[in-house]
Structure 1
Amino acid sequence: MKRTILLLLCATSFSTYGQVGIGTTAPQETLHLGANTSTIRIEGLDEINNPLNSGPTRLTPVFVTESGNFTLQPAGYTSGGTGYVLPLNFLADTPNFIPNNPLGLAAPFDRYGVVINSDLTNESTTGLIQTVTINVPTNSMVEVKYAISLYFSGTNLAVPPHSTFITDGKTRVIQSYFCVDIDSDGLSPAELAQMYGVKGQYYASDAGGTRGYPNMNSQGYVNLPAGSHTLYFFGVVNDPPNTFTSIGFGGANDYLKIRLFN
C-alpha cells in the first residue's frame, strides 16, 4: 500500500514538471496557490514565535535575504540598537505631477501650469492646484513631499500678453499646502480646515522685475487609516492692496513623493 502511494506521488510530480499546485489542478509556477482567497501562514513569523512581529495592530514588513529566505529581520539589524534602514514603501513617486498647460495655451505660453490670480480687489487668493488619490494598505503615517515651480507675472497669465514683469517694488508671498479627503468622499469643512505641509516664499521686486521658475519645496505628515484617500493641493497668492499678481503653479519641473511608515 505504501509503495502504491509513493508511486502515485511520483507520477503526479512528473506530470506537472516539478510544479506543485494547492487548490488547482494546473499549477503555473513551482508553487501555485489556487483560488482567489488563497493565503499563506508561516508560524515562525507570527507574534508568538517572533519578537520582531509588530502584533495585531500593525503589519510587519517581510524581507527577503540573498538566499531567497523570508525573514522579519533587516540586514544589519542589531537587537535593541539601530544602524539599519527599513525599506521605503512608496505610494507615489511622480515627476511633473502638475500639468504644464491646463489652459491649453499655444507655445511659447504653454508652461505656466495652474494659474491663480490676486486681482486689484483682493489681497489673498486661494486656488486648487491638483488632486492625487492614494490607496493606503493599512493604518500608517504617510509622508508627502513635493516641489512646485512658480511663475510670476504682473498681469493675468491666462490672457494676452500672458506675462509681464512685476516692477512695483512691492512684496508678494506665495504659499502652498495640502488637505486630506479621508475615504475620497469629498472634502468636509473640517478636512478643508486641516492644512498639511504649509510652505511660503516671498518675492520683493526691484526695478528690473522678475520672470522665471523658482521652486517651492515642502513636506507634511499625516496618520491615515487603510483605504482610498485624496490629497488636495492648494496654492495661495498674497499681495499688497491695489496690486495685481498672477502666479503659475507647476509649469516647469515639479515632483511628488508619497511614502508610508507602518
Structure 2
Amino acid sequence: MRKNYLFIFILLSSLCSAQVGIGTTDPQKELHVAGANSTIRIVKLNSFYNPDNDGLKPAKVFVDGLGDLAIGDGSGIGNVESLNFLIVNNNFIGDNPNNWNVQDEINNTGFVINNDTTQTTVEGEITSLTFDVPNQSLIEVKYGITLYCKGENMNAHAPPYVDITPGEAINMITYFRVDINNDGWDGDEWNKTYGKKGQYHETQAGGISGFPYMNGQGYFSLPEGTHKIYFYGVVNDHGVSYTSVGFGGLQDYLKIRIYN
C-alpha cells in the first residue's frame, strides 16, 4: 500500500536589530560603553564647534561623505550644517606699545611701518595668532584694518606728527599667510598669500587726520590641528618722502569661520 505524506514547512521571519555597544552589557562592536544611561562624547561635535548641539536635547548625528560624524540628519539642502566661527576678534591688532595719549590727537597708532627717504617699498609683519581646526575643513578669513598715515616716525615720539607730503599719493597693502600646523614655513606656505587688499591715500594742505579703512578675505583648506596666521602690511611712496603708517589704530576686526 502506498502512503502519501504531506510535509508542511513553516517559514518564520524575525526582526533583527544591531547596536554599537552603548548602554548594553553584550557588546557587538569594538566601541562599547556599558550602562543603560551611559553616553559618549565626541569633542568635534560639542557646542563650541557646532551650535546645533545646545546640550539640552539630543542632537542627530550622521556620517558624512568623508566618513566623519557630523551633527544633522544628512538631508543636505534645506538642512545645511551650521557655519561656525573659530575666532571673532574686534581688536586683533595690538595697540601702540608707546601708548601715546595726547588730547586732540590720536592715542593709538597700531603697529607702525616706516618707509624712510631711502626706500620706496617697505613690508613688515603686523601681527599673528594661532587657532585650532577640529577636522579637515574649508576656512574663511575676513578682516578689517584701520590705517593712520603721517610724514615722520610715529614710534619716535608722542603726537603731534608731521603730515605726509601734500598732494603726494601713498599706497598701503595688507594680506596674510598661513603656517599650517604652526611648525615653521615651507616654500609652498610662504609663497601663498591671501586676502590682499590695497588703497591709495593723499593729504592736501588744510586737511585733518583720519583713519582710512580697508578689509579683505581669503579661503583655503586646512587639516585638523593648530595653525598660525600672519598679517603683513606694505607701504609704497615716492623715493624722497618719509611715510609712517600705523596699521590697526582704531576698529580692527578678524573673523575666522569654518565650513565643516
Task: Give TM-score, length-normalised by structure 2.
Answer: 0.72
Contact 2:98 2:155 in 1 (8 A): no
Q: Give the SS at the match of 1:151.
A: strand
Report the residue type matching 1:55 in the other structure. G
Name the count of aligned residue pairs.
210
Q: Identity percentage over the alignment?
A: 40
Structure number with the higher helix fraction is 1
CA gap 1:240/1:56 in 2 versus in 1, 3 angstroms: same
Report the residue type matching 1:151 in the other structure. Y
**Corresponding residue of 2:199:** 201
**Corresponding residue of 1:130:** 127
Contact 1:23 1:35 in 2 (8 A): no
| Whole-angstrom distance in 2 between the partners of 1:256 and 1:36 | 28
Contact 2:165 2:241 in 1 (8 A): no
CA gap 1:31/1:140 in 2 versus in 1, 3 angstroms: same
Q: Does 1:239 pair with 2:241?
A: no
Q: CA deviation at 1:106?
A: 3.3
Q: CA deviation at 1:111?
A: 0.6
**Corresponding residue of 1:93:** 88
When Rg is computed on C-alpha atoms for both structures, the one with the higher figure is: 2
CA gap 1:210/1:188 in 2 versus in 1, 3 angstroms: farther
Report the residue type matching 2:99 in the other structure. L
| Whole-angstrom distance in 1 between the partners of 2:121 and 2:112 | 14
| Whole-angstrom distance in 1 between the partners of 2:183 and 2:254 | 22
| Whole-angstrom distance in 2 between the partners of 1:133 and 1:199 | 22
Q: Deviations for 1:162-214, whole angstroms, at most 9, x for unmatched residues?
A: 42222431110100000010110122343222110000011122223552212
| Whole-angstrom distance in 2 between the partners of 1:118 and 1:45 | 55
For the aligned residues, what is the CA RMSD? 2.9
Tell me which of 67, 72, 75 is aligned to 2:74: 72
Unaligned residue ranges in structure 1 (runs of 5+): 1-21, 25-29, 47-52, 64-70, 78-83
| Whole-angstrom distance in 2 between the partners of 1:35 and 1:86 | 19
Contact 2:164 2:242 in 1 (8 A): no
Unaligned residue ranges in structure 2 (runs of 5+): 1-32, 46-57
Q: CA deviation at 1:55?
A: 1.9
Q: Mapping of 1:15-164 within 5 angstroms? A: 23=34, 31-33=37-39, 46=62, 53-56=63-66, 60=70, 62-63=71-72, 71-73=73-75, 77=78, 86-101=81-96, 103-108=97-102, 110-160=107-157, 162=159, 163-164=161-162
Task: Give TM-score, length-normalised by structure 1.
Answer: 0.71
CA gap 1:57/1:119 in 2 versus in 1, 3 angstroms: farther
CA gap 1:86/1:170 in 2 versus in 1, 3 angstroms: same
